[in-house]
Structure 1
């Protein structure tokens, strides 16, 4: 014998099923938003949310150029003590007769190295960059009046968000420089 069901109770069952399925479907994005909100709340609680990059440049060194070589290298230690990343995008020095380029050095097999010019280098929030001969450095044209060991060379480092930072670099002999 076939059971006769009430069409109204069938509709109620279907409505409850749709309601349950809809609630489960909505639960996933609600849970994801809750996790994201908790993370943002923790970030704000640390006091770093939205704080700008704070750049500090120290330990400036310029290698004493070899006779007859048209360029040398300069190195700085850059620390970002702020809450946002920043990028070094331009370097100038009034005593330098040409364009200073930002370079990255890479090693190849057999201890061969090559340098490539890069447009910028990023420094993450709370991180630092120690320029070195085996990583990022500055390629600096040598002025006609040769530098001497101990001379101070003024540089201006320009950052995308923080603006310009003026710093002095001391000229050092390549064999006596602690660059790393």
Structure 2
């Protein structure tokens, strides 16, 4: 025989228990329907590196696409052996005067893309490798969640960045 106190305790526990079971069922259905999200899935394409015009540095540019439903971040880059590579940002310091500064982690949006350009983000390479148009250089781009991704950049003359 169930006592009055036990009946009251069971009634008190029934609502939270039912709410928990219902929530778990809804989350399971949401996940099975494919709506729980996917990890970042980055691809690096359209690599271009400028044939150097000086002995100090040159720049490389990539398009980074993310087909996942979670954003990622570009945290660094490794260039060819014997050459330093870093992600840089073009900053206007006065009308018509620009300088490059190191960029921190760069966001790659979910279901979006990041396109590097001379007037924004690029990969600075110092000292520049000896390059002729058509030469290929391999870089490794490092991402917070996606890890290391190798990408190839084709040497082009300045002004010829379009694939």
TM-score (norm 2): 0.74
1:47 matched to 2:34: yes
1:73 matched to 2:59: yes
Secondary structure of 1:89's counterpart equals strand
What is the alpha-carbon distance in structure 1 between the residues aligned to residue 101 and residue 107 of structure 2?
A: 16
Secondary structure of 1:100's counterpart equals strand
CA deviation digits over 1:78-135, x for unaligned, max 9?
001101110111211234x232111111234422112210121111111110000111
1:86 matched to 2:72: yes
What is the alpha-carbon distance in structure 2 between the residues aligned to residue 99 and residue 152 of structure 1?
A: 17
Structure 2 unaligned runs (5+)? 1-26
Secondary structure of 1:82's counterpart equals coil
What is the alpha-carbon distance in structure 1 between the residues aligned to residue 94 and residue 70 of structure 2?
A: 37
| Alignment correspondent of 2:157 | 173
Greater Cα shift, 46-55 or 150-159 = 46-55
Match of 1:164 among 143, 148, 154: 148
CA gap 1:44/1:62 in 2 versus in 1, 3 angstroms: same
Q: Which has the larger helix fraction?
A: 1
What is the alpha-carbon distance in structure 1 between the residues aligned to residue 33 and residue 116 of structure 2?
A: 29
Give the ranges of 4+ consecutive aligned residues of structure 1 lying more than 4 Å apart after TM superposition: 43-46
Aligned residues: 136
Structure 1 unaligned runs (5+)? 1-39
CA deviation digits over 1:14-46, x for unaligned, max 9?
xxxxxxxxxxxxxxxxxxxxxxxxxx99x8687
1:123-138 pair list within 5 angstroms: 123-138=108-123
Q: Which has the larger strand fraction?
A: 2
Q: Over aligned residues, Cα RMSD in angstroms?
A: 2.3
